[in-house]
Amino acid sequence: MPDATRVPVLIGVGQLRANRERAVAAAREPLALMADALETAERDAGVPGLLQRADTVLAIRAASWAYADLAGAVAARIGARPRTAQNTALGGHLPARLLERAAAAIAAGDSEVAGVVGGEAQASVGALGKAGVDPVAELGWSAEPGGPPELDLAELGTAEQLAAGLFLPARVYPLYENRLQADLGLTPEQGAAWSARLYSDYSRIAAAHPAAWNREQLTPEQVGTPGPGNRMVCEPYPLAMNAMPHVDQAAAVVVTSLAIARAAGVPEERLTHVRGGAGADDHPDPLRRTGFGRSAALAAALDRARGRTGTTADELDVIDVYSCFPVVPKLAALHLGLDRHAVLSVAGGHSSFGGPLNTYSLHAIATLAQRLRGTGATGLVHANGGYLGSQHAIVLAGRPHPDGYVGDPEPERIEHPGAPALVDPACLAAQGADLVIETLTVEHGRSGGPQQAFVVGRTVAGDRLAVSSAPGDAGTAAALSRTALPDGATTHVGRTVRLTLRDGQPAVALPGGTA
């Protein structure tokens, strides 16, 4: 058996949902929610004073409020004086990767007690803004530096993405969905029905979760039918298939060595073993990857995690896959060889459980840890960051791995030597060049109609470029909508469009077209 001082176990988890009513008087900042989640995890472990012994505090960056040193502030709140207090950048993959790092540090003998925590208070921030309340002056929220973090466009995408308008997740993930639908030969109706069924099932799981933001169980028709309260955002995803970031939620886990857990009197049936996992980092810009019908990083993370732990897909009793948009669990299910309607969630997904920016997968980890206690079952949590760019998967179990911790905290770097050259559309637009659509999406306005198309295309030479229809050109957007397919076609992928100049800017239009 491995040395018990080098075997990482989850001994306490904490989750909370706060201020669902968006009341000014109930608003609390993310730091307070995180401290609450950690204290809940300590009570769950049943070891008073455990947090004060934490030598490691890993805090996931909050997107709803700015902190100069979030990990240090959290540590101060819980009375800890950690040797390691680490803050992060943005990324939904971070909960799994931070847990991996905490487990690896314990396995290396560099840590004994670690806390991983994250939380958001976007619902309260929005409510306070509407009410004209200053959170710092009137409620005492942190002011170092305080306020919603400044938006850094460089974190949203490359210059080419920004120029093409592909700097929002709601615009980028549909590019993958629509390409996947084309590659699988599905009709728009079949692809949409698959998504609606998945997210209906997720809503059923969320309805039973005490920390879920939305507890209404939705039918596939309610999820998939656009209309009042469920407007189409970017085709093919109506609002119910988009992540819900306007939440107040927090989660935390406490990881110790098996020796510490036993010395503290934690019963063996209360332990969840961190067997290990692995990750992969792709190029952050999807335009510089090979294609849009799959994710090489997602596949690598799942394969590496299962390979490191010696776990086949059939041996995984429970799986939670990141679900900011339906294409992510679809890609995971296809790669793992699972049924297309497999429900790969323990928490309920981003649209129903809630999408607290970078922290969702920490809720999944906490939920899975509770579910595995006292069982012989094994589970996996997959976490996704960026535009399918940073991936991490980690395997937990009710029983130890024969070799203890076997994960790898360092991600594999995905390369794309065969990716097409990326060219500037401005160089070709004046010539009126033709493009073949590689993938696309159409964004709808709040009134409900098609507003703007976003196209990734290939030139005659095979080079790639990204371009949108001109602002105000609703005609081209409508012509590229899924509701305006040519007779007999099931997708616009493969269709030829024209690159033109509109008001001096490159824009996509139909040949002979609408622009």
Residues 123-160: tens digit of each pLDDT: 999 999 999 999 999 999 999 999 999 878 878 899 99
**What are 319's strand-pairing partners?**
380
Residue 35: CA atoms inside 13 Å, Cβ hemisphere, count?
15
CATH class given for the domain over 425-509: mainly beta
Q: What confidence score (pLDDT) does residue 514 get?
A: 46
Q: What is the pLDDT of residue 315?
A: 96
Measured CA to CA, the distance from residue 353 to residue 363 in angstroms comes to: 9
pLDDT of residue 512: 65
Per-residue pLDDT of the chain (515 residues; tens, 9 = 90+): 689 999 999 999 999 999 999 999 999 999 999 999 999 999 999 999 999 999 999 999 999 999 999 999 999 999 999 999 999 999 999 999 999 999 999 999 999 999 999 999 999 999 999 999 999 999 999 999 999 998 788 788 999 999 999 999 999 999 999 999 999 999 999 999 999 999 999 999 999 999 999 999 999 999 999 999 999 999 999 999 999 999 999 999 999 999 999 999 999 999 999 999 999 999 999 999 999 999 999 999 999 999 999 999 999 999 999 999 999 999 999 999 999 989 999 999 999 999 999 999 999 999 999 999 999 999 999 999 999 999 999 999 999 999 999 999 999 999 999 999 999 999 898 888 999 999 999 999 998 899 999 999 999 999 999 999 999 999 999 999 999 999 999 999 999 999 999 988 999 998 865 44
Give 472's DSSP letter: T
CATH 3.40.47.10 fits domain 4-142+245-413: yes
**pLDDT for position 513:** 53
Residue 352: name the closest of 176, 211, 191 by CA. 211
State residue 191's pLDDT score: 98
Burial profile 163-182: b = 16 or more Cβ within 10 angstroms, e = fewer? bbbbbbbbbbbbbbbbbbbb
Fold: same for 4-142+245-413 and 425-509: no
Q: Provide the token pair at 417.
A: 């030597």
Q: What is the DSSP letter of 471?
A: T
Q: At what angle do helices 327-336 and 296-309 cross, to 10 degrees?
A: 50
**What pLDDT sits at residue 470?**
96
Q: Tell me the sheet residues that pair with 444.
A: 450
Distance CA 218, CA 230 (A): 12
Output the DSSP codes for 359-404. GHHHHHHHHHHHHHTTSS-EEEEEEEETTTTEEEEEEEESS--TTS
Domain boundaries, the chain: 4-142+245-413, 425-509
Tokens 């059939």 correspond to 314
